[in-house]
Amino acid sequence: MSSIYIHIPFCKQACYYCDFHFSTSLQRKKEMIQALVKEIVLRKDELKNEVETIYFGGGTPSLLTTDELSILIHTIYNNYSVVKNPEITLEANPDDLSFEIIQQLAVSPINRLSIGIQSFFDEDLQMMNRSHNAEQAKKCLKEASYHFDNITIDLIYGIPNMSNERWKENLQIAFDFGIHHISSYALTVEPKTALANFIKRGKYPNVSEDLALEHFNILVSETENNGFVHYEISNFGKPDYFSKHNTAYWLNKMYLGIGPSAHSFNGNQRSWNISNNVKYIKAINDNKIPNEIEYLSKKDRFNEAVMTGLRTIWGINLQKIEKVYGTIYKTELLKNAEKYIQKGILIVINNKLLKTTQKGKFLADGIASDLFILD
């Protein structure tokens, strides 16, 4: 199975923490959609397997009309082999999801909404320069829940001045809406963002890793108490509601990225499109794919398997590591993991799986990089 990701590079305004590729000008939206359609067609021979998931990310895909979304989806159906009842996700902002829009989406091919709530408190939303307010967040969830069973929301923790009590209340509000999936991330200060600039100038307090860890532990505990499975470091889902699209990434399945800045992976190489709307449109109109390609060595593929494996409940399959990469790689992996095993941060289960313990989950990315083979 394989997946298709479509990047919609437009936003109403820039969130202070965001370093994704987008434009706040919608002047080229029509040209962009035409280019996306053309890229989908140009690359139709790149996926050999059936398409299991389609994901509209951004940017803010909910700035597109349902007709525009349907054009893109139908182009995929007309050029690729798609499974029956694929997961089709639309990222959306609460202020875009009016009752009328939700009704339109409900009768479209979209069957999963990923709503960027981030917080149910105006103070937090204003601090992050989100385009919606707390009332809109709650209203859209109430209305969306009438029409969609499969809804995930994003929540951000580790926000300066967010108390543990307010973080718990954020989570409780989500639980009260009957949400089946939550993606939650620590507020991160990325270079060249407005947030980084504000912190540097002393306008905003810096983020605290200690606060983020407190919030993370609360997140893990509260979601577990409410029937969620912590199946990936930042993702919590009830049974049968895990993200099929993101799981495909973590299990190293093939995916095709359409649109400016979108990434693709075919098992042996990774590519990424240019992060410039004007140059992207021009190249596609000239029948060229404006991307860079990285060919992955055996070592690269091993390191990616380590990184993605440690982030999930499925862990690193040691038998698969030995079969695909050889005994030397497995031996080196266990050798490097030993100090973390001794500290109770990693655990080997039945000599088959290497996984993080609860103690090690928050540290997974750092641990993984320590297990990489570099030479």
Can you give the CATH number for the domain in which 210 is found?
3.80.30.20
Is the separation of the CB atoms in 56 and 8 below 8 Å?
Answer: yes
Structure confidence by residue, pLDDT tens digits, 154-188: 999 999 999 999 999 999 999 999 999 999 999 99
| DSSP class per residue in 231-285 | EETTEEE-TT-S-HHHHHHHTT-EEEEESTT-EEE-SSEEEEE-S-HHHHHHHHH
Residues 31 and 101 reside in one and the same domain: yes
**Whether the predicted pLDDT of 20 surpasses 90:** no
- What would the two tokens of residue 59 be? 């940017």
| DSSP class per residue in 307-326 | HHHHHBTT-EEHHHHHHHH-
The pLDDT score that the predictor gives to residue 370 is: 94
Structure confidence by residue, pLDDT tens digits, 123-157: 999 999 999 999 999 999 999 999 999 999 999 99
Is the separation of the CB atoms in 39 and 258 below 8 Å?
Answer: yes
| Residue 313 falls in which region: left (phi positive, over 0), alpha (psi -120 to 50) or beta | alpha
Q: What is the mean pLDDT of the chain?
A: 96
- What would the two tokens of residue 96 be? 């875009």
Residues 236 and 309 reside in one and the same domain: no
Residues 38 and 174 reside in one and the same domain: yes
Is residue 331 one of the residues assigned to a domain? yes
Structure confidence by residue, pLDDT tens digits, 65-86: 999 999 999 999 999 999 999 9
Is residue 222 one of the residues assigned to a domain? yes
The percentage of the chain sitting over the pLDDT mark of 70, rounded to a whole number, equals: 100
Is residue 304 one of the residues assigned to a domain? yes
Residues with Cβ within 8 Å of residue 176, at least 6 apart in sequence: none
Residues 6 and 138 reside in one and the same domain: yes
For residue 166, give the DSSP letter. Answer: H
Split at pLDDT 50, 70, 90, the class of 329 is very high
CA distances from 337 to 9, 343, 366, 375 (A): 40, 10, 12, 17
Is residue 55 one of the residues assigned to a domain? yes
Residues 318 and 240 reside in one and the same domain: no
What's the domain range around 328? 298-371
Residues 106 and 211 reside in one and the same domain: yes
Residues 9 and 118 reside in one and the same domain: yes
Is residue 285 one of the residues assigned to a domain? no
Cα–Cα dist 19/211, whole Å? 22
Residues 24 and 147 reside in one and the same domain: yes
Is residue 95 one of the residues assigned to a domain? yes
The pLDDT score that the predictor gives to residue 294 is: 97
**Whether the predicted pLDDT of 22 surpasses 90:** no
Structure confidence by residue, pLDDT tens digits, 255-306: 999 999 999 999 999 999 999 999 999 999 999 999 999 999 999 999 999 9
CB-based burial of residue 88 (10 Å sphere; 0-12 exposed, 13-18 middle, 19+ buried)? buried
Cα–Cα dist 121/117, whole Å? 10
Residues 62 and 150 reside in one and the same domain: yes
The pLDDT score that the predictor gives to residue 180 is: 98
Q: Point out the domain boundary residue: 228, 249, 270.
A: 249
Please give the residue that has the higher pLDDT: either 22 or 38.
38
The pLDDT score that the predictor gives to residue 375 is: 72
The percentage of the chain sitting over the pLDDT mark of 90, rounded to a whole number, equals: 94
The pLDDT score that the predictor gives to residue 254 is: 96
Residues 88 and 177 reside in one and the same domain: yes
Residues 9 and 124 reside in one and the same domain: yes
Residues 207 and 315 reside in one and the same domain: no
Cα–Cα dist 161/220, whole Å? 20
Q: How many Cβ atoms sit within 10 Å of the Cβ of residue 269?
A: 12
Q: What is the mean pLDDT of residues 338-358?
A: 96
Q: How many Cβ atoms sit within 10 Å of the Cβ of residue 270?
A: 18
Structure confidence by residue, pLDDT tens digits, 24-68: 899 999 999 999 999 999 999 999 899 999 999 999 999 999 999
Is the separation of the CB atoms in 117 and 153 below 8 Å?
Answer: yes
**Bridge partners, 257 (sequence order):** 5
| Residue from 64, 47, 165, 43 nearest 108 by CA | 64
> Based on the structure, what is the number of domains in the chain?
2
Q: Point out the domain boundary residue: 225, 249, 273.
A: 249
For residue 190, how many C-alpha atoms fall within 13 Å in the half-sphere facing its CB?
Answer: 10
Cα–Cα dist 375/95, whole Å? 49
The pLDDT score that the predictor gives to residue 41 is: 98
The pLDDT score that the predictor gives to residue 193 is: 92
Q: CA end-to-end span of the chain, whole Å?
A: 32
Is residue 266 one of the residues assigned to a domain? no
Split at pLDDT 50, 70, 90, the class of 19 is confident
The pLDDT score that the predictor gives to residue 283 is: 98
Split at pLDDT 50, 70, 90, the class of 374 is confident
Is residue 289 one of the residues assigned to a domain? no
Cα–Cα dist 72/29, whole Å? 13
Q: Give the CATH number, domain containing residue 306.
A: 1.10.10
Cα–Cα dist 161/121, whole Å? 12
| Residue listed under structure tokens 């997961």 | 87
Q: Point out the domain boundary residue: 249, 274, 308.
A: 249
